[in-house]
Amino acid sequence: MTATHDVVIIGGGLVGASLAIALEGSGLDVAMVEAAPAAAMPAVFDERNLSFAEATVNALTRLGVMQRLRAPTGAIARIHVSRRGDFGRVLMQAADHGRTAFGQVVVARDFGEALEARLAEVQGLVRHRGTRFTGFAADAGGCRVLDLAGAGPSQLRARLVVAADGAASGVRDALGIEASRHDYRQVLLVARLRAARAPDGTAYERLGDDGPTALLPRGDRAWGLVHGVAAEHAPGVQALDDAGFLARVQDAFGWRVGRLLSVGPRSAYPAVAVRAATTTAARAVLVGNAAQSIHPVGAQGFNLGLRDALVLAELLVAAARQGADPGDADLLSAYAGRRREDRARTLDFSHGLARLSSNPEHGASLLRSAGLVALAALPGLQAGVAGGAMGYRGDVPDACRAGAVR
């Protein structure tokens, strides 16, 4: 017989796994469909350096995930922003905003292992691993019927389907939800880097015509590098030996951390933004990259997706306490309403910054320079930017506020 669940999460990556943990103890019957087999980690848990906003750190601590990280995190005590060829710079200090850090830098692989350790403790969660969503069958009895392929069952029934299956979401396509796509024509090269100066808590973002070059302070005394290159130049840059690559990054970034000494294996990711026209459908909701994927400038992607998951969890837990239907249309409408401001403001901020920062025209340079000067000089303006960087934008989920931990 086809099993029926209250909630079926499609995707076991960063956001899907976090949602499953957030629903622990809710009384809901939750299942998660994961493409990766039990012996493997999802591809998203690689050597990328994730910048967790303070709100994200708070939430993941309350969910018992941060405590299971095995590698040390890197605190972001300062944020330094500049652009090659423009005057002006911004240096934001966490201490000026009553914080010891704006957030933490975490390696994606370590985060994945911590999530897996925490998921193994979640009582009642049904995990269908090595299983892929292939489409919807005819709905029946107040449920959606999911067609699956792989090691798990061939079908499941769900009162609510949560699409957490990434930017190329098969669930989103099966629901008929349109999505706009913007290709920034940039490729982001990610690596672990060592320099003459070890990290001191400063996160650097050096903007340029081809995209950002960011150095993030990791917890292992190395820097997490993100280096943007024009898409047409990416194959040549990827083919450089370590010495040639370091020379290119040094030229783009400058000498703020001294000479760049060594670099580890490099991974490449195209910079493409995807934005779903709506985040809900009948008995279905999109979260994380399935709802929106954004340019990494400003490091808000996962932080935004986690807030999707946490707001949805809040609403589902409250509904479960009242014995309400988790796929109720009013609940999904409430979810969309609560996420509207944060989603719109974060997407607009990321897209605007990506477009403006890489525009080489003289008028754009003057505008950027004036903006950097104003941001550096006006505490009120800086406070708003800092609040957004720390994850406090719009209707903030309760879990994002500092409080009791597990």
Q: For 24-42, what is each residue's pLDDT tens digit?
A: 999 999 999 999 988 777 7
- The per-residue pLDDT for range 174-191, each reduced to its tens digit, is 999 999 999 989 999 999
Q: Which of 17-31, 303-317, 366-380 comes out lowest in average pLDDT? A: 366-380
| Of 333 and 406, more confident | 333
Residue 56 tokens, joined: 């994200």
Helix (H, G, I), strand (E, B) or coil at 9: strand
Q: Which of 281-290, 309-318, 362-371, 392-401 comes out lowest in average pLDDT? A: 362-371
Q: Is the pLDDT of residue 298 over 50?
A: yes
Task: Quote the distance between the C-alpha of residue 1 and its chain's center.
Answer: 37
> How many alpha carbons lie under 13 Å from residue 4 in its C-beta half-sphere?
8
Q: Which of 30-34, 274-278, 347-351, 366-370 comes out lowest in average pLDDT? A: 366-370
Amino acid identity at 396: V
Tell me which range, 79-83, 109-113, 275-279, 382-386, is most confidently predicted by mean pLDDT. Answer: 275-279
Residue 385 has a pLDDT of: 62
- The per-residue pLDDT for range 191-246, each reduced to its tens digit, is 999 999 999 999 998 888 888 899 999 999 999 999 999 999 999 999 999 999 99
Q: Is the pLDDT of residue 404 over 60?
A: no
Q: How confident is the model at residue 164 (pLDDT cuts 50, 70, 90)?
A: very high
| Of 297 and 91, more confident | 91
Residue 388 has a pLDDT of: 66
Identify whether the C-beta of residue 115 lies closer than 8 Å to the C-beta of residue 69. Answer: no
Mean pLDDT for all residues in the chain: 87
Q: Is the pLDDT of residue 142 over 80?
A: yes
* Percentage with pLDDT > 70 across the chain: 87
Q: Which domains does the chain have, with CATH numbers?
A: 4-75+107-180+273-359+375-400 (3.50.50.60)
Beta bridge partners of 156: 146
Q: Which of 4-8, 198-202, 299-303, 350-354 comes out lowest in average pLDDT? A: 350-354
Q: Measuring CA to CA, which residue among 219, 222, 207, 266 is closest to residue 242?
A: 266
Residue 215 has a pLDDT of: 95
* Distance separating alpha carbons of residues 405 and 58, to the nearest angstrom: 9
**Phi, psi (rounded to 5 degrees) for 155:** -150, 150
Q: Is the pLDDT of residue 364 over 60?
A: no
